[in-house]
Chains A and B, each alone.
Chain A
Amino acid sequence: MRHRSLLILTTTVTVGALTLSACGSRDDKGGSGDSGGKTTVTIGLDAPLTGDLSALGQGIKNSTDLAVKTANKNNEVKGVTFKLETLDDQGQAGTGQQNATKLVGNEEVAGVVGPLNSHVGQSMQKVFGNADLVQVSPANTAPQLSQGPDWQKGDKKRLFDTYFRTATTDAVQGPYAAQYLFNKKKFKNAYIIDDKKTYGAGLAGTFQDEFKKLGGKIVGSDHINPEDRDFSAVATKVAKSKADFVYIGSEYPTGAPLSAQIKKAGGNIPAVGGDALYSAEYIKLHKKKSEGDMATSVGAPLETLDTAKTFMKNYKAGGYKLPYEAYGGYAYDSAWAVIQAVKAVVEKNDGKLPDDMDDARKQITDAMKDVKFSGVTGDVAFDEYGDTTNKQLSVYEVKGGKHVPVQTGTFQEN
């Protein structure tokens, strides 16, 4: 009996879902007819718009918004108007996954930009993968998102065909920092701290491997809770160690107080971290004590790139209240990649998207593999794992209350 009622329930739900989805596609067609042959295509955006990481998230949102507006203004894809649907994940994996489900459920969404955090990206991948909905992250740097959990052992395997990113990975970001500190700064002793999250622990791991390989010494290591703000005991340990610098695998809301408390405890050494410490907020949280701290970030500094001049000009003209921050350029390029993929599909299909949205999504995902354009951050294209082919990185140092670029280049294996 139980089985039968379950069967009936399942059938009802399935029929209901089918009916609803049929309604959806009919609506789509109707919509495109009404507005004089123009189809509306929605680009989803997911980023932490509130909470500690909101500075980075708002920069991503504004830059994506700019890309969408630019595409509409220039009539980039003929017959298609782009619209943005913005969702806030608060930097939490669970919320990110709900947002992903919501975006998949919206029949108009043809592609998604985001998220910021690697652990959020991890939770969204499967949802998009099942729905064939393409996702381009401007900021995820954890290597396993594209290359599978065993990437470090050389066993690279792409998990989701729908996952792409314009930011380079920690597989090169950590080692790049290690080489800079060991070769250029002549630092031999490292103290390594991570926050146990996907991003922080991964980054600290790749850094540590390369630093040891170069001949550096790890004089101590520790793990912290990302929610803690009192690190006095850890700080004293670091300050009393013989480390030349402390490497922090974490994000600025945790990294800034940690670095400041190490200095307060008498540890007169720079704190070094990855792209998640490269934010104006990092300096704002601890004005005086951040001097000399370093951070690596993906890509070349936008200010030095000719390709970014127009972006910076338009961003200013757009009247956005908050700065574009570390990932603005990448968010713009991510959105532009989605737009280009839609364009490729529309051109192939006699000037419109396939009527069946599932089919359209699949074709857009396929088209993403061949997307290639000159973007804000340089040439944008994706390799066989969905990672960006642009592997440039930069080191920044805090000087006079600002992050100043000190080196830009690509990672070379020793």
Chain B
Amino acid sequence: MQDLPDQLANGLALGALYGLIAIGYTMVYGIVQLINFAHGEIFMIGGFGALTAYLWLPEGTGLVVALPLMILLGVVCATLVGVGAERFAYRPLRGGPRLSPLITAIGLSLALQQAVWSFYPDAKKARPFPQFSGGDFDLGFVSLSREDLFIFVAAPVCMIALGVFVAKTRTGRAMQATSQDPDTAKLMGINTDRIIVMAFAIGAAFAAIAAIAQGFKTGEVSFRMGFIAGLKAFTAAVLGGIGNIYGAMVGGLVLGVAEAMATAYIGDIPGLEQFGGGSWKDVWAFVLLILVLLIRPQGILGERLADRA
């Protein structure tokens, strides 16, 4: 167990990444009760946007210099696609049967994957993502890689910004109002269409930042990266209580830490050698999800389901 601090750091980094993506699921669900299954692909497009920015810069540009531009272009690309998806794929179906937007989301997800696959140069296989040069930061009890540091800074900053935005600004409060009761909100003069676009945009922007973090962590971006990440983030959103932005982050962190712990320690328990390691971590993560949902069906920080009925 002497590697516990390192494994915790691994889990938290992974969890923060899941949490950032999960925000997108949870915000959209909170406002329009739609599971945007194309969100994983918006995440992936954010990663490719950032890579494009890096490739535009002259060879040998330091990553510290390139990073702001990468974040900017990644966020812009993801937001455009996210907002476009809302405008052209979901809005025409709003008010229709609830399954239609769900099927549309799955179709959109496939279409976006294939679009990147066929039109982004050399994207038929994984493309290498730039890496920080230099070693780890040794804090004595735990050593943090530069790549993990990015997510450890980015995730709290994003969370605090979002929290302040939702609680303090007019638009944020309009967002809360729309989520609580869209019809009344409309009657009070809130432009709910604009609020919905806003939710998609914020979710997409956060996903882009998560994609950059994943690019740093794994050293590559690929057209398929959104599928598994999206699935995990959706799980995190449900675990934390879908509809609640803080729940998404908490759910992500719990899921990430659970995966790291399962990989590292389950195999050490006598009798469970067979069920440890990297190939069983997902099983344990979902066992945890089921247990949590048995005790708290609304998720860890979930809202009362009665509101949604």
A residues bordering B, Cβ < 8 Å? 50-55, 193, 196, 221-225, 227-234, 236-237, 240, 253, 256-257, 260-261, 264-266, 281, 284-288
| Contact in complex: A223, B260 (CB < 8 Å) | no
A230-B14, A265-B6 as given contacts; A257 in contact with B219, CB under 8 Å = yes
Per-residue A-contact encoding for B138-165, CB less than 8 Å = 1, 0 else: 0000010101000000000000000000
In the complex, chain A residues whose CB is within 8 Å of the CB of B279: 196, 222-225
Contact A233 B219 (CB under 8 A): no
Q: Are A225 and B278 in contact, with the CB atoms below 8 A? A: yes
B281: interface (CB < 8 Å): yes
Given contacts A240-B6, A284-B128, contact A234 B277 (CB under 8 A): yes
CB pair A234–B263 under 8 Å, yes or no, is: yes
User: In the complex, how many residues of chain B place their beta carbon closer than 8 angstroms to a beta carbon of chain A?
Assistant: 38
- Other-chain contact of B136, A233, A253, A266, A284 (Cβ < 8 Å): A266
Instruction: Tell me the minimal C-beta distance from A270 to chain B in angstroms.
Output: 18
A140 CB, min distance to chain B CBs, angstroms: 21
CB closest chain-B residue, reference A241: B3
B218 interfacial by beta-carbon distance below 8 Å: yes
Q: How far is the CB of B52 from chain A (nearest CB, A)?
A: 18
A52 touches B228 (CB 8 A): no
B residues less than 8 Å from A260 (CB atoms) = 219
- When the two chains form the complex, which single residue of B10, B128, B218, B222 contacts A236, counting CB atoms closer than 8 Å? B10
Are A230 and B218 in contact, with the CB atoms below 8 A? Answer: yes
Binary contact track B276-294/A, C-beta < 8 Å → 1, others 0? 0111011000000000000
Which of A55, A221, A223, A261 is in CB contact (< 8 Å) with B218?
A261
Q: Mark B31-59, 1 if CB is under 8 A from A, else 0.
A: 00000000000000000000000000000
Q: Which of A233, A286, A288 has the most CB of B within 10 A?
A: A233
Query: Inside 8 A of B278's CB, which chain A residues have their CB?
Result: 193, 222-225, 228, 231, 233-234
The interface of chain B, by Cβ under 8 A from chain A, is 2-3, 6-7, 10-11, 13-14, 117, 124-126, 128, 131, 133, 136, 143, 145, 147, 214, 217-220, 222, 224-225, 228, 259-260, 263-264, 267, 277-279, 281-282
Q: Once bound together, how far apart are the Cα atoms of A221 and B277, in whole Å?
A: 8
**CA of A253 to CA of B260 in the docked complex: distance in angstroms?**
22
Q: Are B264 and A52 in contact (CB under 8 A)?
A: no
Across the interface, do A285 and B10 meet the contact criterion of CB distance under 8 Å? no
Other than the known A233-B7, A233-B278, A264-B136, what 11 A-B pairs have Cβ atoms closer than 8 Å?
A: A224-B277, A227-B228, A228-B228, A229-B214, A229-B222, A230-B14, A236-B3, A237-B264, A240-B3, A281-B125, A284-B128
Is B125 within 8 A of A52, CB to CB?
yes
Complex: A196 Cα to B133 Cα, angstroms? 33
B149 to chain A, nearest CB (A): 12
Say whether B263 contacts A52, CB under 8 Å: no
Interface centre among A232, A240, A281, by most B CB within 10 Å? A232
Write the chain A residue with the least CB distance to B11.
A233
**In the complex, are the beta carbons of A285 and B6 less than 8 A apart?**
no
Chain A residues lying within 8 Å of B136, measured Cβ to Cβ, are 264, 266
A237 in contact with B3 (CB, 8 Å) = yes
Q: Are B125 and A54 in contact (CB under 8 A)?
A: yes
Is A233 touching B147 in the complex (CB atoms < 8 A)? no
Judge whether A233 and B281 touch: CB under 8 Å: yes
